[in-house]
Amino acid sequence: MNKLKGRTALITGASRGIGRAIAERFAAEGANVAINYTNNREAAQEVLEAVSAHGGKAAIYQADVADESATDAMIEAAIATFGQIDILVNNAGLGSAAINRPAIADATNEQWSTLLNVNLWGPIYLCRKLVPHMRRAPRSDVLMLSSIAAQSLNPGFGVYAVSKAALEAMAHTLAREEKASGMRVNIIAPGLVDTDMGRRIVAATSGGASITDMQANLPFGFVCTPDDIAATALHLCSEDGRYITNRRITISGD
């Protein structure tokens, strides 16, 4: 249970869903965790307590990743608290529901900016500020949480798909640029996951059905959980994944 002992991860959007599952799984394997959240401090505090129960160091940081100055301040504070940070998980994101799923030709500049500022510029700000620091570590890892939407390219999800496709392009390039510094950069692209976002997608695209109603038609007969994603994140960032970089792992059961 010590696959990440001695390492420190900064995880964005860690107060719920996939981010929370990764934070708790990493802590269970010995990692220290910097927990980022945007609005829900109470939820972040719950994650802090769950992470601290594993015995590692943990702290919460409020910052909207779309705000560069707030992101920079969070990173500086986390480095002051933890010292070396050697894992960055770019998980925070907004889905298509946040902009009411417009068609590409109908999306306004504001709708484009809403998703791109969080899903693309947020990771850009984090990498620009944190990657130079992470180069000092013997090994470091960057995980980008993408989506199967960047592959399926379905109507109504176009703006979201573009934001995630751009994120993936950045990740692949960063992996090549930073290999010499011992940094691994990988992408996890989930399909439908039992999260708040997943439930909203199902309700909006299936006439109000619940996510559990979908199970019989899904691969293996159940919905992917945040813990399933966290297990892959752990594999990639541990010694089990030491020879894996520049990969996109799609987790959809297909």
Q: What is the pLDDT of residues 239-251, one digit of tens each?
A: 999 999 999 999 9
Sequence letter at residue 151: Q
Confidence label for 84 from pLDDT (cuts 50, 70 and 90): very high
pLDDT in tens, 163-199: 999 999 999 999 999 999 999 999 999 998 878 777 7
Tokens of 87: 């894992």
pTM of the model: 0.95
Sketch the domain layout of the chain as residue ranges.
8-192+225-251
What confidence tens digit (pLDDT) does each residue in 189-232 have?
999 887 877 777 776 676 666 777 777 777 888 888 999 999 99
Q: List the catalytic residues.
A: 160
- What's the fold here for domain 8-192+225-251? Rossmann fold (3.40.50)
pLDDT per position as a tens digit, 118-144: 999 999 999 999 999 999 999 999 999
